[in-house]
Structure 1
Amino acid sequence: MFYQPENGHGLPHNPFKAIVAPRPIAWVSTQDQAGVANLAPYSFFNAIADAPPQVMFASTGRKPDQPESKDSLSNIRETGVFCINIVSKGLQDAMNASSAPAGKDVDEFELAGLTKANCDTITCPRVDEAPAALECRLNQIIRLDGDDNYLVLGHVTGVHIKDEVLNDGVLDVTRYQPLARLGYRDYSAVESVFSLTRPKA
């Protein structure tokens, strides 16, 4: 089949997000100026540079109790910081619980039964159970085409890695099986890994 997005696809569900898959999940923790923590998963996410390390995630849609977009974006605008927690297979239910459309005064750490840990370089909590976490300082927020679509760019100022996911000094993803978003209600976990050697010039 072929379709042009502006004309619709004619399928029961939008296939776009299923085509661009798997997508890593940014489990974004933030805190507003009153000290209320927020935790929410975003699957439009990736690392975009490594020297200095930088990441991006996109926020789409909005909540009725926020002036624009969602709690994460509002808190980042207020404080200029956020933390990206990596979701392991063992945390899938907690991640899913934190995606509930809760009010802006609800602490999703409590909702999902998670433990808050202090960050070292920024002033918001991180998920203590996460195998890794990236402390980030806001670089810029870019308004994208469409209603309530925003791109958040951040510099990584601190990195947390659980000792048990390191194997001879190498991050071993098979030890925690990072979760990825597919399409629809589908997810995947990395359970096998293979290596390729780059060809020489």
Structure 2
Amino acid sequence: MFYRPSEGHGLPHNPWNAIVAPRPIAWISTRGAMGDNLAPYSFFNAVAYTPPQLVFASTSAKSDRDGTKDTTAQIRETGVFCVSIVSRDLIGAMNATSAALPAGTDEFQHAGVAKAECETIPCPRARDAPASLECRLVQIIPLLGKANFLIHGEVVGIHIRPDCLKDGRFSPPDRLARLGYRDYCAITETFELTRPDET
């Protein structure tokens, strides 16, 4: 089949949601005047090594947050955020924090997520995550479409859970990813591949 997104796909579910997958999940925490917030985003990835940088996209709005979501609103307010990596054992809590709760609701409390303070920024993080990335905002880029924003951050602090370090490498028991629709996967099997220019 071929379709133009501007003309519709004619399927019961939008295939675009699942074509680019698996996508890592950014479990993003913020702190603002209205309190602490925690929410998952699957339009997310690392984009540079030195300095380490990442991006995620916020793609809809809440009626109580002036054309965006709690996460983006609080990043605009403070200029900082933390990205925690989600493992399979945290999937229930991660899913609970995806609810569109009223602004000012503490999703850590709502979902029973243990909270810890960041070291380099005034922000909470998910204490039991395999890794957490403390970020300073570089820029918020408006994207095509209503309420679509790309948030670009520099990673200024990294937390790694001790059991996720093996032989000097980050090696969590699994890596949770979004496949689109309601589909997720927990990646447990990996393999190494040598590049042609490596000796």
TM-score bracket for the superposition, by shorter chain length = over 0.9
How many residues in Structure 1 have an aligned counterpart in Structure 2?
Answer: 198
Residues 178-197 of structure 1: matches in 2 within 5 Å?
178-197=175-194
CA distance in 1, matches of 2:75, 2:114: 21
Match status 1:116 vs 2:115? yes
**Alignment partner for residue 198 of structure 1, among 174, 195, 198?**
195
CA distance in 2, matches of 1:178, 1:71: 26
SS across alignment from 2:6: helix
Q: CA deviation at 1:33?
A: 2.4
Question: How big is each residue's C-alpha offset from its partner over 1:2-52, in whole Å with a ceiling of 9 and x where there is no partner?
Answer: 100001000001010210000000000001124x10000000000000100
Alignment correspondent of 1:155: 154
Kindly provide the amino acid, as one letter, of the partner of residue 178 in structure 2.
R
Kindly provide the amino acid, as one letter, of the partner of residue 176 in structure 2.
L
Q: CA deviation at 1:200?
A: 2.1
Alignment correspondent of 1:63: 62
Q: Percent sequence identity over matched residues?
A: 58
Alignment correspondent of 1:81: 80
CA distance in 2, matches of 1:91, 1:109: 12
Indicate if the aligned counterparts of 1:33 and 1:79 stay in contact, CA closer than 8 A. Answer: no
Indicate if the aligned counterparts of 1:25 and 1:41 stay in contact, CA closer than 8 A. Answer: yes
C-alpha RMSD over aligned residues: 0.9
Structure 1-normalised TM-score? 0.97
Question: How big is each residue's C-alpha offset from its partner over 1:102-148, in whole Å with a ceiling of 9 and x where there is no partner?
Answer: 01111000011011101000001000011100000000000000000
Unaligned runs of 5+ in 1: none
Unaligned runs of 5+ in 2: none
